Amino acid sequence: MSLVRSAAPLALAFALTAPLAAQSVPVVSLAKPDAEFAEPFDQVTAVRELRDGRVIVSDLLAKGVSLADFRTGAATAIGREGQGPGEFAFPSGLVPLPGDTTLLVDPGQRRFLKIAPEGKPVGTVPFPDGLGGIVTVRGADRQGRIYIQGSLFGGGPGLGGPDGNGELPDSVALLRWTPGRAGFDTLGRVKVPSIARAVSGGSNARAVVMRQQPFSASDEWSVAPDGRVAVARAGNYHVEWLGTPRASGPAVSYAKVPVSQADKDAINRQARDTRGRFTVQEGGGGGRPANVPPPRLPEPDWPEFKPPFVGAGARMAPSGEFWVQRSQPAGAAPLYDVFDGQGRLTKQVRLQKDSRLVGFGATSVYVARTDTEDELQYLQRFRRP
């Protein structure tokens, strides 16, 4: 029995609805997938499609990486949790390199797990020297150069300064690294969310707890195959392209979305789920962990309105289209603004409720659908509109 749930033919994978009057762009709804993988995941972090149609799937909460085949319904584990050469501690993003090679981002061990085209781990690649703090790896271009968002915390893991109480900047560098070479190219800076932080312990051993302030505005970005970087700017919502040629699109109009009690309840539920977190403690002496009781953070500072777009909600299609997730009322179906290489809004794409964009293929869109009864996620494949 096949483990792949077939659905409507590809030609019926999406439907065109009425234009959005305020933006004068079409709205496309991804209605029924051409396939849904029947084996569920806990939390799909990223998807990388290979040339033969199989996909590598990173599952953060299950701490697993799989090679999934929609044709056969088979899912084969890639590596395992651990500290060895073919293992990982915290499976995060997937960086596509040329020739179907993939790098799994493992921030817990500050390295990449290298995955060969056949889906086998073939070694690890350490994070480059000089890359301190907690960083975010967003992707690579077709030359294999890797694009990284720098860390807020320059004084050590999670501290921000020698005493752990230094002011955190409101922006960080956007970096490009060529594996095998020393140093980075700095492409620009991006605004980051406001961070609440609490420190416990003393100078010899301390624990730091951090939390992003809910609905704090930040820039979102991704890299295109040609190496140009698209940045959605939060201050005056528009898309700026860094690289050659540079471009800056017009401001995008949007209706302010109030922060509701339902939004607060959802954020509080997420805060109580400790899965998928890793903790950094300093000190302790003799190679022992510090074992300092973590401090308690104050209650969140709730804003009146959401920012124009969702944090960590931007992705780049192989075609160079930049998808940015628009803020919506609690419980609404996700809506993505799609921009061209000049920063112009060309269309919007609406997903079904309880769904989330997790990746692209050559002609496909991959979506994680959450089952509201068991909270498991099911990977769906659509034709890209």
Gyration radius of the chain's alpha carbons = 21
Please report the pLDDT score of residue 156 as a whole number: 36
Cβ atoms of residues 187 and 243 within 8 Å: yes
Q: What is the pLDDT of residues 212-241, one digit of tens each?
A: 899 999 999 999 999 999 999 999 999 999
Q: How many CB atoms lie within 10 A of CB 82?
A: 11
pLDDT of residue 233: 98
70: closest CA among 148, 143, 7? 7
Q: Does residue 30 have a pLDDT over 60?
A: yes
Phi, psi (degrees; rounded to nearest 5) at 263: -65, -45
The label of the residue with tokens 């190219």 reads: 185
Nearest Cα to Cα of residue 363 among 327, 323, 331, 319: 319
Phi, psi of 303 (to 5 degrees): -80, 165
pLDDT digits (tens, 9 = 90+) for 61-81: 999 999 999 999 999 999 999
DSSP per residue, 85-116 = TTEESS---EEE-GGG-EEEEEGGGTEEEEE-
What does the alpha-carbon distance between residue 272 and residue 297 come to, in Å, rounded to a whole number?
13
**Cβ(176)–Cβ(298) under 8 Å?**
no
What is the separation of C-alpha 71 from the centre of its chain, rounded to a whole number of angstroms? Answer: 27
Q: How confident is the model at residue 8 (pLDDT cuts 50, 70, 90)?
A: very low
- 3-state SS, residue 245: coil
**Which pLDDT score is estimated for 23?**
56
What is the rounded average pLDDT for all residues in the chain? 86
pLDDT of residue 154: 57
Instruction: Give domain limits for the chain.
Output: 127-283+290-350
289 has pLDDT over 60: no
pLDDT at 1: 32
One-letter amino acid of 369: R
Residues 307-347 pLDDT 10s = 999 998 899 999 999 999 999 999 999 999 999 999 999 99
